[in-house]
Amino acid sequence: MRRYVHPDPADIRLPEVLFALSDATRLGIAVQLSDGGERTAGELGGDIAKSTMTHHLKILREAGVLYVRSEGTRCYNSLRLGDLEGRFPGLLDQVLGFAVKCGYTSAGARR
């Protein structure tokens, strides 16, 4: 089973979080996960190339925005809603609210 490294909540840094959210595809991924659910890369990515999704999910994970849980051969992605809320209260909600308004509602949304 693959192991993924996640930063501790105290090590989640503002510039990295903003960078992780500074891309249309990654905003779409975060919006899709904002219901608190878990999804595989395939479920999130739609028509997006697997390697592209891997790249975006890694940036989100390393910034502390996303948690990856391995189960057998599958990986399930979810947002670290509690950790982000503890670190930067209200920030993710606000950013994702604007993301929805701007049409970044899925990884492959056309804009």
End-to-end CA distance of the chain: 37
Q: Do 16 and 60 form a contact (C-beta atoms < 8 A)?
A: no
For residues 49 and 47, give the distance between their C-alpha atoms in angstroms, rounded to a whole number: 6
Q: How many CB atoms lie within 10 A of CB 4?
A: 15
72 versus 90: smaller Cβ distance to its own copies: 90
Is 90 a residue that touches its own copies (CB under 8 A)? yes
Which range in 33-41, 43-51, 68-76, 84-92 contacts its own copies by CB under 8 A?
A: 84-92
Is 12 a residue that touches its own copies (CB under 8 A)? no
**Binding letters toward its own copies, positions 19-58, x by CB under 8 A:** x-xxxx--x-------------------------------
